[in-house]
Amino acid sequence: MFKYEIDDSSFLSLLEIKDAQQLYDLINRNRDHIGKWLNFPNITLRPEDSKTFIERTRLRYAKEEGYWLGIWSRDKLVGSIGYVYLDQDNKKTEIGYWLGKEYEGKGLITKSVKLLINHAFLELKLNKIEIGVATANTKSRAIPEKLGFKPEGELRDYEYINGRFLDRIIYGLRADEWRTE
């Protein structure tokens, strides 16, 4: 397995089955916070659901179809980030991410997205990365905007979450627009 250092006390690594309880606990503590923008907390109702998610993401990793990584800080799972899909034919991917509320504002997501951008462009030789974010989620939108992604369009009523439709803005970044950091 791999491990990407974010900073002296934080790293990314592929989620393992042994992480299922910790993942579930993090989601459960942040159910309202995350569930405001994403649907998965509504279907993660017990630790076994997190185990199933990890099994699926590891299978997708083995098939090179995309995967999710744990974001770890001081050896605690604090969030997740990943390639929602890997499209080798069209040389593109989408990055998704979420973080426990108590860990926001420390730069973990920005640094993690940078690591995945560099990996996608330099190692996977992809040409384009997309990030889709609920239009009203200003904190999450700040990440691609800060990293030089360009808004490419808005999808109205894209998702139905907790009794309401959410619009989604799609950001894109091409390899020739990224300066490796």
Q: Are 77 and 42 spatial neighbours (Cβ–Cβ below 8 Å)?
A: no
Q: What pLDDT is stored for residue 13 in this prediction?
A: 95
Q: Which of 132, 129, 135 is nearest to 117 (CA)?
A: 129
Q: Could you tell me the residue range of the domain that residue 156 belongs to? A: 3-177
For residue 65, the domain's CATH number is 3.40.630.30
Give phi and psi for 63, each to the nearest 5: -90, 0
The total domain count for the chain is 1
Mean pLDDT of the chain, nearest integer? 93
Which tokens go with 15?
């989620």
Burial (Cβ within 10 Å: 0-12, 13-18, ≥19) of residue 15: buried
Query: pLDDT tens across 21-64, in order?
Result: 999 999 999 988 888 888 887 788 899 999 999 999 999 999 99
pTM of the full predicted structure? 0.92
Which tokens go with 115?
């690591």
Q: In whole angstroms, give the CA distance from residue 97 to residue 132.
A: 10
Give phi and psi for 105, each to the nearest 5: 80, 10
Query: pLDDT tens across 53-71, in order?
Result: 999 999 999 999 999 999 9
Q: What pLDDT is stored for residue 78 in this prediction?
A: 97
